[in-house]
Amino acid sequence: MKIKKLVAATYAPMHKDGSLNVSVIKDYSSFLIRNKVSGVFMNGSTGDFVSLSTEERKEITSAWAKNKSSDLYLIDHVGDPSLKVAKELSAYAADKVDAIAVLAPFYFRLNSMDKLVEYCKEVAACAPNLPFYYYHIPALSGADFNMLDFLKIASKEIPNLEGIKFTNNNLIDYLHCKNFENGKYNILFGFDEVFLSSLPLGAEGWVGSTYNHLAPLYYKIKELFEAGKMAEAAELQTKAIRFVEILNGKGGFNGVAKGFMRTLGVDCGPSRFPHTTLSNTEYDDIKEELENIGLLPFLSK
């Protein structure tokens, strides 16, 4: 099944003391569905997977699985610098979610495409009945390989290869991947700040963190693009960029944006070190800034 529409890269909800608070996930799920988000990408960069233990990642997987809905496709990121851990998480997710994904090991970085394919192949084989996505995010993983070349090799080696979460602004490589073997693979666009640029290339599915907060805005951008109103669409894309810039300027986007969720009615709690968590007063100030640029009507509700 090809995933279409917006997929939210979700946060790991926490109590004030920093322990997991998976009880939030039921309401979180309803919130996303209400805002026409079609899927969840859990345990990823937005979900602070590198700050979670293996057991905590499993707890998040289980919590989303228990709140499963036909309206929300669940993708579990199971990647880890340890191949052993990644395979363990893959096997754990095999009967709980709709698909799995991995990014490349990011400490001892891979130095060849063959090693990347080998890593993906071993992890995918631990959940052979689930669609498998490679999570391409070279800015964080350091695995700056050409994804068309990856598809040419991996398509022959990984039977359950479904596609790529393409978090890179190399639009040429993205387009080639999308067109590979007549569009056989689901290439999910993962760079929120250039969402509009993906539309002329035929993008149909997107994964990103700001789809938690601004889903109505992105659907409006798509609507304006399809109506040929490019200037208006570009104006809204600029607002989305300003959202990221404003929150990032308050101490770093990951942590500040997670805390911002409570202003939308979903309290995901604080972030773990090194991310920043702000006070309610500071979030009031942020909302005032967002109001000044006309963004409040486009926030998820």
For the domain that residue 132 is a member of, what is the CATH number? Answer: 3.20.20.70
The answer as to whether 82 is a domain residue is yes
142 burial type by CB count under 10 A (0-12 exposed, 13-18 middle, 19+ buried)? middle
CB 166 within 8 A of CB 190: yes
Q: How far apart are CA 165 and CA 227, in angstroms?
A: 27
Q: How far apart are CA 40 and CA 200, in angstroms?
A: 25
Does position 192 have pLDDT exceeding 80, yes or no? yes
pLDDT confidence bin for 2, thresholds 50/70/90: confident
The answer as to whether 264 is a domain residue is no
The answer as to whether 208 is a domain residue is yes
- What is the pLDDT at residue 15? 97
Report the predicted TM-score, pTM, of the whole model to 2 decimal places. Answer: 0.97
4 burial type by CB count under 10 A (0-12 exposed, 13-18 middle, 19+ buried)? middle
The answer as to whether 109 is a domain residue is yes
- List helix spans (H) across 22-170: 25-34, 54-66, 83-93, 113-124, 138-141, 147-157
pLDDT, tens only, 109-137:
999 999 999 999 999 999 999 999 999 99
Does position 1 have pLDDT exceeding 80, yes or no? no
Q: How far apart are CA 109 and CA 139, in angstroms?
A: 12
Count how many Cα atoms sit within 13 Å of the Cα of residue 271 in the half-sphere of its side chain: 27
The answer as to whether 260 is a domain residue is no
Mean residue pLDDT across the chain: 97
The answer as to whether 151 is a domain residue is yes
Question: Considering its fold, how many domains does the chain have in total?
Answer: 1
- What is the pLDDT at residue 6? 98
Does position 253 have pLDDT exceeding 90, yes or no? yes
- What is the pLDDT at residue 45? 94
- What is the pLDDT at residue 129? 98
Sign of CA dihedral 36, 39, 45, 51: positive
The answer as to whether 239 is a domain residue is no
Over residues 2-15, the mean pLDDT reads 95
Active site residues: 135, 165
The answer as to whether 36 is a domain residue is yes
- Supply the range of the domain harboring residue 18: 5-229
pLDDT confidence bin for 207, thresholds 50/70/90: very high
